[in-house]
Amino acid sequence: MSVVPPPPLTRRGIPLERDLRVLALGSFANRFGAGAVMTTSALYFTRKVGFSASEVALAMSVAAIVGIVVQVPAGHLGDTRGPRRVLTWCMVGAALASALPVLARSPWQLAVLLGVLALFERSAGSVQQGVIAQLATGGRGVLFKAYLRAVTNTAIGLGSVFGGAALVIDESWAYVSVFVLNAVFTAFAAWNTTRLPDLPSYVRIEGEPRMAVLRDWPYVVVVALTGLFAVHFFVMDIGLALYISQRTEAPPVMVAILLILNTACVALFQVRLSQRADSVEAGSRALVRGAVWIAAGFAIVALADRGDATVAIVVLVVGSLVHVVGEMIGSGGQWGLQMGLAPHERQGQYQGFAGLGFSVVAVVGPPVVTYLCVDLGEVGWLVLAGLMLVLALASVPVSRWALSTRERYGVLTHSG
């Protein structure tokens, strides 16, 4: 029996369905403001407020921990109280908290204000995953996530241009205006959620655990694998920057050039390279294909410290291009596994837990990546390449095991 392909998602780069267009517009606005803040916040707090780099880093770590704690409960709240309504509440809270960090005049105040902001932002992120799962039906969940990733990458890149203008001006009022801009765009995104339809809430069956995902051991194992797999993002964001500056002859500006190159590739090709990952089995295969590309990219980048500046630049560009192909294919694979194994009516809780894997790696990954990429150099890059392959290959039997248990957790399964 032939498989009917899902209906087209977009026409000329715009989602065909109104609700998906609303989601995309809100995500663009939200990430545009975030891109501006990401570019400027650390420098504002160190150069204008007077905090040390370690104090700012500690405050950001506190915020990251808050984000880890709230993700699953927020997703569960969205499932049981109505994902659209809870998303609006969280986005309103994020809008009100977005500009507050500029008021911090001590490190503990900064930690508290960033923590409050993380509470609302991370909660909104978890709840939105449930909204996506309920609106992007008909096998288009993975494709729409791919589309949103392209949209948000573009928004962050454009927002960083605005943040760059503040860096050029280098006055306190310019930095503060960036935070205000973020608050305004987040407020727009909050209002935008009210244009979405009210979505049904999940009524928990008597005797069913509140956090059922924590007892779904196959899903827990899958999230652990995909979370560890996501360490490659930190390799290219943190490890590559330090590797370029400390172990190669390439000019430091290559860090920005490679980031722009990555952003452009994701914006142009993410949807196309995620089209074959719309089920659990297809997702695991895509994860393996992505891992091969990522591992090859790491192996190429490892050679950048063997030559002069010209050789280093060529090697870094080629390695980064190879890596981003794997990044896009692998991302589709991760989404296929995480969405395909989750009960439809509890997607918020399950996707909140799936995001937990990435958040934990965000805390422990940077020091590990720094040690492997910088301290060990070429050997460390090859170790990371091998790790990507092992994790992806392990996901194949694990996803089959998880798929065989889905009826127990109320999931209708299908093969891809």
Output DSSP code: residue 15: E
Co-location of 184 and 237 in the same domain: no
Task: Return the pLDDT at 162.
Answer: 85
SS3 string of 373-387? HHHCCHHHHHHHHHH
Co-location of 256 and 350 in the same domain: yes
Q: Helix or strand or coil: residue 34?
A: helix
204 assigned to some structural domain: no
Type of residue numbered 257:
I
Closest CA to 80 of 345, 262, 357: 345
Mean pLDDT of the 390-408 span? 90
Give me the domain span that covers residue 66: 18-141+152-193
Task: Return the pLDDT at 7.
Answer: 66
Question: Which of 164 and 20 is assigned the larger pLDDT?
Answer: 20
pLDDT of 11 higher than 70: yes
Mean pLDDT of the 96-109 span? 94
Q: Helix or strand or coil: residue 7?
A: coil
Co-location of 249 and 398 in the same domain: yes
In tens, the pLDDT along 27-60 reads: 999 999 998 888 788 888 888 898 887 888 788 8
* The CA-based dihedral angle spanning residues 270, 218, 346, 341, taken in that order and rounded to the nearest 10 degrees: 40
Co-location of 129 and 234 in the same domain: no
Q: What is the mean pLDDT of the chain?
A: 87
Task: Return the pLDDT at 167.
Answer: 84
Type of residue numbered 69:
V
Backbone angles phi, psi at 250, to 5 degrees: -70, 145
Task: Return the pLDDT at 1.
Answer: 41
| CATH code of 333's domain | 1.20.1250.20
Q: Are 32 and 159 in contact (CB under 8 A)?
A: yes
Task: Return the pLDDT at 101.
Answer: 94
Task: Return the pLDDT at 331.
Answer: 92
Task: Return the pLDDT at 388.
Answer: 96
In tens, the pLDDT along 183-223 reads: 999 999 999 999 999 887 766 655 566 677 888 899 999 99
pLDDT of 414 higher than 60: no
pLDDT of 99 higher than 60: yes
pLDDT band at 313 (very low <50, low <70, confident <90, very high): very high
Co-location of 179 and 227 in the same domain: no
Put simply, whether the predicted model's pTM sits higher than 0.85 gets the answer no
Task: Return the pLDDT at 143.
Answer: 86
In tens, the pLDDT along 237-269 reads: 778 888 888 889 998 888 878 888 888 898 889
In tens, the pLDDT along 116-128 reads: 999 999 999 989 9
Number of domains making up the chain: 2
* Residue pointed to by tokens 């995500």: 27
How far is 364 from 403, CA to CA, in rounded Å? 29
179 assigned to some structural domain: yes
- Sequential DSSP letters for 45-112: IIIII---HHHHHHHHHHHHHHHHHHHHHHHHHHHHH-HHHHHHHHHHHHHHHTTGGGG--SHHHHHH
pLDDT band at 5 (very low <50, low <70, confident <90, very high): low
Co-location of 384 and 334 in the same domain: yes
pLDDT of 3 higher than 60: no
pLDDT band at 2 (very low <50, low <70, confident <90, very high): very low
Closest CA to 359 of 150, 118, 59: 118
Mean pLDDT of the 340-353 span? 82
Residue 54 token pair: 């370690």
pLDDT of 367 higher than 90: no
pLDDT of 373 higher than 80: yes
- Sequential DSSP letters for 171-222: -HHHHHHHHHHHHHHHHHHHHHHTTSPP-PPP-PPTT--TTGGGG-HHHHHH
Compute how many other C-beta atoms are within 10 angstroms of the C-beta atom of residue 87: 30
Co-location of 227 and 164 in the same domain: no
Task: Return the pLDDT at 415.
Answer: 41
Co-location of 304 and 399 in the same domain: yes
How far is 321 from 206, CA to CA, in rounded Å? 51
233 assigned to some structural domain: yes
200 assigned to some structural domain: no
Task: Return the pLDDT at 203.
Answer: 60
* Chain centroid to CA 315: 27
8 assigned to some structural domain: no
Co-location of 136 and 245 in the same domain: no
Task: Return the pLDDT at 164.
Answer: 84
pLDDT of 169 higher than 80: yes
Q: Which region among 7-11, 85-89, 359-363 has the lowest average model confidence (pLDDT)?
A: 7-11
In tens, the pLDDT along 316-343 reads: 999 999 999 999 999 999 988 988 888 8
Q: Which region among 170-179, 283-292, 407-416 has the lowest average model confidence (pLDDT)?
A: 407-416
Q: How far is CA 280 from CA 36, 123, 150, 394, in A?
A: 36, 26, 22, 14
3 assigned to some structural domain: no
Mean pLDDT of the 1-11 span? 62
Hey, CA dihedral for 310, 312, 315, 320, is it positive or negative? Answer: negative
